[in-house]
Structure formats: structure tokens, C-alpha cells
Amino acid sequence: MTAFAVVRTQSLFATAMLSGVFSLLSALLLVTLDAVDVAFTEAAVGAGISTVLMLGTLALTSRFERPPSHSPVIPLFVVLVTGAALVYGTLDMPNFGDPNAPAQTHVAPDYIGRSPHEIDVPNIVTAILASYRGFDTLGETAVVFTAGVGVLLLISGLRRRRRKEKEDV
Amino acid sequence: MRHHLILRVVTKLLIGSIMIFALYVQFHGDYSPGGGFQAGVIMAVGFIIYGVVFSLEDVQRVFPPWLVHKLAALGVLLYAGTGIVSLFLGYSYLDYTALSPHHPVHGQHYGIILVELGVGITVTGVMVTIYYAFTSRTPIMDDEAW
């Protein structure tokens, strides 16, 4: 329903706020699925930071959506096909909580069995992230850092150049 | 937002608890949901909310951009450095046993706390950097336009 409101509204301010609401709702969904860590991230990043960043972008651009310049039929078709493919994909997924699902039988029992005496950290998610998958997390941190550097290069470089132009004039 | 008195007072009250909560999520991540990434985001929110309600100049006086950029790099360095330390102590890269060879479980604890701290610092730095980058450009509308 929130997603519909996001699509329908013309005011970009309302869109930003509604996508924050959408993130909060998906965080609730993740809590129901017992993925508290992910829910935490979703609530903080999706509802918090990205809303602020969208508002920041809005302040730089304009507040209202322009009426679309072409017919919405083709995009609608693409979205419908993608959605149908995704729904079709979920048909093959194991049932929720199925103990024989691939995710439960591969490495998860190993981690759950080993982490109490090897790492002894009650939050197994942290144990896996920081220790068993330490390299992955290092890579993620590097990605976050690279993203920050990228934004910095793109945006603040532009500003400096513009200031120089102004001085030239 | 000079005229929003309630907003400013409430924000001042909230920032302290936001930051404490960030530290709690950071260092209690072993026992409860959360960890470096979440803590970093929450800590960044503490600064961003200050920037939103007060002004960019105010928050940049508290947390100057050069420091933010250094911190973002420092976090990655801390994480990678932990790996290097274990490498020099004769273990494989990022093997936290190296930090406490007689008691490997303690070594794991130290290692996890260190790398999570690295993640947290980087995430805080990068989030605040992105926020600064977006808001330090001249906006085309003023407060009233909202």
C-alpha cells in the first residue's frame, strides 16, 4: 500500500517520507522473520539515513515530479514481467522454517555448533560476520569506504570547480 | 530552522542518548543484535540530526570534514591492521587467535571488538561524509518552501 502511495504521489517530499515508512514496515517484517540484525540495519539505514539523504537531494533539485514525457505502458510491462518472474522464482523456494532447506543444511549447523566453544559470543551473527567471514566483512568495509570516497570525489570536486568558475567571472 | 524552539530543545536532549545507544550497539554487539555497521549508522545519525536541526556550520565545527575523512580511512586501516598484526604474530591473516595465543576464545573476543570498531568508525565517517557532500552544496530553496 505504501509502495502504491509512493508511485501515485507527485510531491517528492511525500515520496521520500513514504519510502521511509516503507523501510520501517519492512524492518517490522524482518523482525517477524527473526532477523533482528537485518531489521536493525533496515530501520537505521532505510528509514533514517536514506530519507535524510533524499531530502538533501530534494533541496538541491526540485520538489515536484515532472509529468512523464512518454507513455507508461512499456515500463509497466517490464515491471509486470519482472514481478511475475520473481513470483515464479519464489514457487521453488522451500517453505518458511523448513529444516531441510539448503540454507539450514549447508554451513549453518556447523557455525551454530562450533561458535559456542570456539568464539563464545552469544550473538552468532556477530561471530559469523566478524570471525568466520572476516574477509567478507573487510571487503564490505572497503566497499563502504570506496563509496564514501566516490561521493566525495564526484560531488565536492564539482563544487570546487564551480567556485573557481565564479572567481574567474 | 532557527524558529523551531521545541525541535531544537528535543534534539539537544536526544543527541546524547542517540550517541550512547550507538556506543551500546557497538560494544554490546557480541551479546545483542547489532554491531559495527548499525552502530556506525546510529552514530552518524546523531551528527546528521544536529546538522539538520541546527546548521551545517554548527555540526562542521563539532566534527570538521577533515576529521571525518580521516576517520573513514582509519576504520578500514584498523580492520586491515588487525589482520596484519595476526600475520606478524605468525598466524594467518585475520586469525584472532594471534591476539591471545594461550586463550584462543579471548583472542576471538578482542579480534571481534577491534574489527567491529573499525567497521563502526568507517561507517560513521562515510555516512557523515556523504551527508556533508550533499548538504554543503547551495540549496535552491529556503526553509519556508517546505
Q: Is pLDDT of B43 > 70? A: yes
Look at residue B37 and tell me if it is in a domain: yes
Mean pLDDT of chain A: 75
A156 neighbors B133 (Cβ within 8 angstroms): yes
Q: b or e along B96-131 (b: 16 or more beta carbons within 10 Å of the residue's beta carbon)? A: bbbbeeeebeebbbebbbbbbbbbbbbbbbbbbbbb
Percent of residues, chain A, with pLDDT higher than 90: 1
Q: Find the mean pLDDT for residues B96-104.
A: 73
- pLDDT band with cut points at 50, 70 and 90 for residue A65: low
DSSP string, A37-103: HHHHHIIIIIIIIHHHHHHHHHHHS-SBPPPPSS-SHHHHHHHHHHHHHHHHHHHTSPPTT-TTSHH
Residue A64 has pLDDT above 60, yes or no: yes
Taking residues A150-158, report their average pLDDT. Answer: 74
Calpha distance A109→A54 (Å, rounded): 41
At B92, the pLDDT band (50, 70, 90 cuts) reads confident
Contact residues, chain A, for B126 at CB < 8 Å: 144-145, 147-148
Q: What is the pLDDT of residue A81?
A: 92
Task: State the alpha helices, DSSP H only, in chain B.
Answer: 5-27, 36-53, 56-62, 65-88, 104-135
Residues 6+ apart with CB under 8 A from B82: B94, B96, B99, B111, B114, B115, B118
Average model confidence (pLDDT) across chain B: 80
Are the Cβ atoms of B94 and A138 closer than 8 angstroms? Answer: yes
User: Are the C-beta atoms of residues B61 and B47 closer than 8 Å to each other?
Assistant: no
Task: Tell me the residues of chain B between 78 and 107 that have a Cβ less than 8 Å away from chain A.
Answer: 79-80, 83, 93-94, 96, 104-105
Which one is predicted more confidently, A84 or A41?
A84
Question: Does residue B66 form part of some domain?
Answer: yes
pLDDT higher at A14 or A102? A14
Top-confidence residue, A44 or A158: A44
pLDDT exceeds 70 at position A50: yes
What single string gives the DSSP state of each residue in A8-25? H--BHHHHHHHHHHHHHH
pLDDT at A150 over 70: yes
Residues in chain A closer than 8 A to B104 (CB atoms): 118
- pLDDT at residue number B102: 74
A143 in contact with B, Cβ within 8 Å: no
In chain A, where the domains are located: 1-65
Instruction: Say whether pLDDT at B58 is over 70.
Output: yes
Q: What is the pLDDT of residue B83?
A: 82
Spatial distance between the Cα atoms of A18 and A1, rounded to a whole number of angstroms: 10
CB-hemisphere CA count at 13 Å for A142?
Answer: 10
CB contact under 8 A, B134 and A57: yes
Residue B131 lies in a domain: yes
Quote the pLDDT of residue B75.
86
* Residue A11, beta-bridge partner list: A64
Chain-chain contact of A60 with B131 (C-beta, under 8 angstroms):
no
Q: Which residues have C-beta within 8 Å of that of residue A98, sequence separation ≥ 6?
A: A104
Percent of chain B with pLDDT over 70: 91
Count of domains in chain B?
1
Angstrom distance (rounded) from CA B133 to CA A160: 12
Residue B119 lies in a domain: yes
C-alpha cell, A22: 516503507
User: Mean per-residue pLDDT for A110-128?
Assistant: 70
> CA A17 to CA B39: how far, in whole Å?
23
Residues 6+ apart with CB under 8 A from B37: A41, A140, B119, B120, B123
Contact B124, B108 (CB under 8 A): no
Q: How confident is the model at residue A68 (pLDDT cuts 50, 70, 90)?
A: low
- pLDDT, one tens digit per residue, over B12-35 is 888 889 889 888 888 887 777 777
Q: How far is A76 from chain B (nearest CA, A)?
A: 31
Q: Averaged over A124-151, what is the pLDDT?
A: 80
Chain A residues in contact with B134 (beta carbon < 8 A): 53, 56-57, 60, 155
- Cα separation, B58 vs B45, whole angstroms: 15
- The 10 Å Cβ neighbour count of residue A143 is 11
The cell for B53 is 536541526
Judge whether B145 lies within some domain: no
| The pLDDT value given to residue A126 | 73
In which domain, by residue range, is B121 found? 5-139
Question: What pLDDT does B34 receive?
Answer: 72
Which residue has better confidence, A168 or B78?
B78
More confident residue, A33 or B64: B64
Question: Which chain A residue shows the shortest CA-CA distance from B28?
Answer: A123
